[in-house]
Amino acid sequence: MLHETLAATNAVVTLDVPLPDIFWGWYVTMNMWAKSIGTGLVFMLFLLLKKNSSEMDSLRTPTLIVSFVMMNVFLLFTWLDLHQMWRMWHIFFYPHMTSAITIGAWMATLFVGLEALMIAVMILKKDTATFDKLLFWVTLLAIPVTLYTAGIMAEATARELWQMPTESVQMLLAATLSGSAAIILLGGSKLSADSKKFFGAILGLSALMAFIVYMSEYIFGAMKAEEVAAILNYVKGDGEYATMFWIGQWVAYILPMILVALSRVSNSDSILSLAAILAIAGLWVVKHVWLVIPQLLPLS
Amino acid sequence: MQLGFLVDLHLCMGCKGCEIACKVENEVPLSTWRLRVKYVDVGTYPETKRTFTPLRCNHCENAPCERICPVSALHYIDNGIVNIDKERCIGCAGCVMACPYGAIYIDPETQTADKCTYCAHRIASSMMPACVVACPVEANIFGDLEDPTSNISRYIQGHTDVQVRKPEKGTNPHHYYVGASQAHLNPLASRREEGYNLFNNITKLPLGGHH
């Protein structure tokens, strides 16, 4: 029990009907998860262009299409999560520029528009030079598009757990984790062994760094603020989300790290593919737990 | 003008008259509240007492709900009230997530955000908020914080134990309490235990959220 709850006062709430707790549920998890894959694939495609552009030929269009589809999944769930979804246009006609939601919606729309343009450039004109030029600018735009959800979480000031510095790092790592995993699966035999190792290393290192950040918050977060301590109790001991939290950590980070190492030792593509699948699946669980637990804490 | 609220918790007796008046005045749907009174029992039998805390929107000077709202549905009006335009709201629930006081809800009938507006419509007609009128002991004190002769300003000047909820959030609430303890204002200072509520097994209607 937290230090304010003194035995001497023995304070017990006997009448309070707080407002319903989980407002941002799995629709928002889908939103974050799909966006991570969508922007992550763009980052990886750009890295491939810089590292080994000869492998780009068969990957430009399919990678961009998958990214475009995931970005549309992200936009779809963002839209479905609105309680007044037919008023979505208000964001564009009555914008409030202090809101990360507004800025994010504008940037994501531009991002998806540019992706559509790049796909059109490839399908209609097969113009790889224009595609590669556009890829640079889309990769730059992918950075704030990845980060803006962290801004929304930071502006959700009632949820002390979500802090901009850690959430922005986690958003970027989620993109590099899921993007590298997705391009490993998507590239298949089209990627050289060298490129697979490269993306495997990004996958493993992203998993390691994300795991370190989560563990840092898990262990040290509680020492900084009583609200964070109370929230983290939901994932500690016999907390309501403890099992789900550890399933997420193992599936998204620990197992992929081990499997990436094994794949490098044994030169096994199938082990690397398994690591990629686990990372993508586990990321959903990790994101969901971190989204839900701050909403369980009573605010009154 | 900067309108504000002060509740003297020495006077409040937990009658919930303010809660009911608010419900009626603003046609607040079932299962939602713009204003509610929290009971916390303090002490160990026989040395026990029950505390009452009316909770409503704090109309913060630095309102997180106003900042996060993507369409300016939540906005300041000239008298300092944080008002809401339900026609503009898109129901993203950003404000629900941002308000540190849990004062905002999604109206199950309109599917838009809603909260206490200090009865802005009544104030526009030079009337007091409904909860102020209903309070039988005048525990709710409402007025202009920028006018040193107003009731609320004089009350603040005359008391040393004026507090706000969660001052560490930097929201600068315009809603004050006199006579409050940690058990009144800090949600982490009291336990919530199954079976200890006056009404257990409360059935809630399906509301916005819960996707």
A16–B39 C-beta distance less than 8 A: yes
Say if A295 is an interface residue toward chain B (CB within 8 Å): yes
pLDDT for the residue A2: 44
Count Cβ atoms within 10 A of the Cβ of residue A264 and give its class: 0-12 exposed, 13-18 middle, 19 or more buried.
middle
Whether residue A8 has pLDDT greater than 70: no
Q: Kindly list the residues from chain B whose CB atom is less than 8 angstroms away from the CB atom of residue A288.
A: none
**pLDDT tens-place values along chain B, 211 residues long:** 999 999 999 999 999 999 999 999 999 998 889 999 999 999 888 888 999 999 999 999 999 999 999 999 999 999 999 999 999 999 999 999 999 999 999 998 999 999 999 999 999 999 999 999 999 999 999 999 999 999 999 999 999 999 999 999 999 999 999 999 999 999 999 888 877 778 777 777 766 555 5
Residue A134 to chain B, least CA–CA distance (Å): 29
Residue with tokens 């590669």: A132
Q: How confident is the model over A222-254, as pLDDT tens digits?
A: 998 899 999 999 999 999 999 999 999 999 999
Report the relative pairing of strands B175-178 and B3-8 from DSSP bridges: parallel
A15–B198 C-beta distance less than 8 A: yes
Q: Is residue A11 part of a domain?
A: no
Q: Is residue A18 part of a domain?
A: no
Q: What is the ipTM of this complex?
A: 0.91
Mean pLDDT of A243-268: 97
Of residues B90, B101, B181, nearest to A91 (C-beta): B90
- Helix-helix angle A164-187:A60-81, to 10 degrees: 140
* Chain B, nearest residue to A79 by Cα: B92
Distance, CA of A158 to CA of A227 (rounded, Å): 10
B102–A299 C-beta distance less than 8 A: yes
* Chain A, nearest residue to B42 by Cα: A11
3-state secondary structure of A104: helix
3-state secondary structure of A256: helix
Q: Is residue B105 part of a domain?
A: no
Q: Is residue A205 part of a domain?
A: yes
Say if A14 is an interface residue toward chain B (CB within 8 Å): yes
B211–A26 C-beta distance less than 8 A: yes
B90–A87 C-beta distance less than 8 A: yes
Scanning B130-159 for CB atoms below 8 A from A yields none
Of residues A27, A28, A82, nearest to B90 (C-beta): A82
Of A63, A162, A71, nearest in space to A118 by CA? A63
Of B119, B121, B89, B82, nearest in space to B106 by CA? B89
Scanning B93-122 for CB atoms below 8 A from A yields 93-94, 96-102, 104-106, 111-112
Domain count within chain A: 1
DSSP state of B175: E
Q: Name the residue range of residue B139's domain.
A: 3-62+116-189
pLDDT for the residue A1: 41
CATH code of A98's domain: 1.20.1630
User: Which residue did the predictor score with more confidence, A145 or A22?
Assistant: A145
Q: Is residue A183 part of a domain?
A: yes
3-state secondary structure of B43: strand
Distance, CA of A177 to CA of A5 (rounded, Å): 41
pLDDT for the residue B197: 78
CATH code of B134's domain: 3.30.70.20
B71–A17 C-beta distance less than 8 A: no
Domain count within chain B: 1
Q: Is residue B18 part of a domain?
A: yes
Q: How confident is the model over A124-145, as pLDDT tens digits?
A: 999 999 999 999 999 999 999 9
Write out the DSSP string of A118-159: HHHIIIII--HHHHHHHHHHHHHHHHHHHHHHHHHHHH-TT-
Q: Is residue B22 part of a domain?
A: yes
Q: Is residue A2 part of a domain?
A: no
Q: Kindly list the residues from chain B whose CB atom is less than 8 angstroms away from the CB atom of residue A101.
A: 68, 70, 92, 94
Q: Is residue B129 part of a domain?
A: yes
Report the relative pairing of strands B175-178 and B113-114 from DSSP bridges: unpaired
Of A20, A174, A73, nearest in space to B30 by CA? A20
Mean pLDDT of A49-63: 93
Q: Kindly list the residues from chain B whose CB atom is less than 8 angstroms away from the CB atom of residue A105.
A: 70
Q: Kindly list the residues from chain B whose CB atom is less than 8 angstroms away from the CB atom of residue A290.
A: none
Q: Is residue A15 part of a domain?
A: no
A100–B93 C-beta distance less than 8 A: no
A24–B209 C-beta distance less than 8 A: yes
Q: Is residue A190 part of a domain?
A: yes
A156–B106 C-beta distance less than 8 A: no
Q: How confident is the model over A90-120, as pLDDT tens digits?
A: 999 999 999 999 999 999 999 999 999 999 9
Residue B23 to chain A, least CA–CA distance (Å): 15
A82–B169 C-beta distance less than 8 A: no
Q: Structure pTM? A: 0.93
Distance between start and end Cα atoms, chain B: 41
Distance, CA of B165 to CA of B100 (rounded, Å): 9
A152–B90 C-beta distance less than 8 A: no
Q: Is residue A124 part of a domain?
A: yes
Whether residue A3 has pLDDT greater than 60: no
Q: Count of A–B CB contacts within 8 Å?
A: 199
Say if A217 is an interface residue toward chain B (CB within 8 Å): no
Of residues B183, B192, B208, nearest to A298 (C-beta): B192
Say if B32 is an interface residue toward chain A (CB within 8 Å): yes
DSSP state of B27: T
Write out the DSSP string of B91-113: ---HHHHH-TT---EE-TTT-SE
From the candidates A1, A21, A85, A96, which should be mutated to test the interface with B, based on the most B CB atoms within 10 A?
Answer: A96
From the candidates B82, B190, B203, which should be mutated to test the interface with A, based on the most A CB atoms within 10 A?
Answer: B190
Of residues B42, B72, B187, nearest to A298 (C-beta): B187
Q: Name the residue range of residue A168's domain.
A: 26-296
